[in-house]
């Protein structure tokens, strides 16, 4: 298989640089798909090498570094952080990565990193078990939405919701008329400030 990595953008980099963050690798894993072994030390060195390459062309680039387990697990950062400045760490805490109650486990798996470094959860989201595309690890209800957003607010963690598309689950809308799904209704209300989370 041959892969083209396409930065699909229109404009002029001289006048309007469009890249705000460089997410080095979306979902690193060594536990599935027969992809082989890689230690955190090896993965950390690879990320540092990629950061150095990016910085050759953009010295001020903010690079995003993910952990293993499909970018969920940041536990190795406690003892072996990526040795570069101007980075943030990435986690994808989908609801079925851990059983409820979530907060204490999130803290151990990735949240503690936000006490020292910026953290951006570049994928979160959920769908009901009977909604199109439902699969492990994304099945849940609005309870997850309430818990994850409250946790992020407490920890100062930024996030983006997957996915602004009617086909890639968990979807924010179900068709190109932008009819919101369950999570679409929740996050739209949250982002518009119309959702008040209980204490």
Secondary structure percentages of the chain, helix, strand, coil, to 5: 35, 15, 55
Evaluate whether residue 4 is within a structural domain. no
Evaluate whether residue 113 is within a structural domain. yes
Whether pLDDT at 196 is above 90: no
- Using DSSP, state whether 177 is helix, strand or coil: coil
Share of the chain above pLDDT 90, in %: 74
Evaluate whether residue 60 is within a structural domain. yes
Whether pLDDT at 169 is above 60: yes
Which pLDDT tens digit goes with each residue over 22-53? Answer: 898 888 887 655 556 888 999 999 999 999 99
Which pLDDT tens digit goes with each residue over 101-115? Answer: 999 999 999 999 999
Q: For the chain, how many structural domains are there in total?
A: 1
Evaluate whether residue 11 is within a structural domain. no
* Range of lowest pLDDT (22-36, 44-58, 161-175, 178-192): 22-36
The residues, any chain, with a CB within 8 Å of residue 101's CB and separated by 6 or more, are: none
Evaluate whether residue 17 is within a structural domain. no
Evaluate whether residue 81 is within a structural domain. yes
Q: Where in the sequence is the domain holding 66, given as residue range(s)? A: 22-191
Scan for tokens 């949240």, then name that residue.
111
Evaluate whether residue 139 is within a structural domain. yes
Tell me the two tokens of residue 113: 């990193």
* Confidence at residue 20, expressed as pLDDT on a 0 to 100 scale: 80
Report yes or no on whether pTM surpasses 0.85: yes
Check residues 26 and 169 and name the one with the higher pLDDT. Answer: 169
Element (H, E) at 54: helix 40-57
| Spatial distance between the Cα atoms of 135 and 143, rounded to a whole number of angstroms | 17
Report residue 89: phi and psi, to 5°: -100, 150
């Amino acid at each position: 298989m041959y892969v083209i990595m396409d930065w699909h953008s229109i404009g002029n980099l001289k006048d309007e640089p469009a890249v705000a963050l460089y997410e080095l690798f979306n979902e690193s894993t060594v536990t599935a798909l027969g992809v082989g072994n890689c230690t955190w030390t090896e993965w950390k060195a690879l990320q540092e090498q990629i950061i150095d390459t990016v910085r050759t062309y953009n010295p001020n680039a903010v690079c995003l570094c993910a952990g293993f387990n499909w970018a969920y697990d940041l536990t190795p950062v406690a003892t072996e952080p990526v040795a570069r400045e101007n980075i943030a760490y990435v986690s994808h805490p989908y609801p079925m990565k851990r059983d409820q109650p979530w907060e204490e486990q999130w803290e151990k798996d990735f949240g503690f990193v936000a006490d020292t470094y910026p953290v951006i959860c570049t994928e979160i989201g959920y769908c009901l078990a009977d909604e199109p595309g439902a699969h492990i690890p994304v099945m849940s209800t609005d309870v997850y939405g309430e818990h994850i957003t409250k946790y992020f607010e407490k920890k100062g963690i930024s996030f983006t919701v997957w996915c602004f598309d009617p086909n890639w689950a968990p979807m924010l809308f179900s068709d190109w008329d932008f009819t919101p799904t369950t999570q679409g209704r929740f996050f739209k209300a949250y982002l518009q400030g119309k959702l008040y989370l209980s204490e």
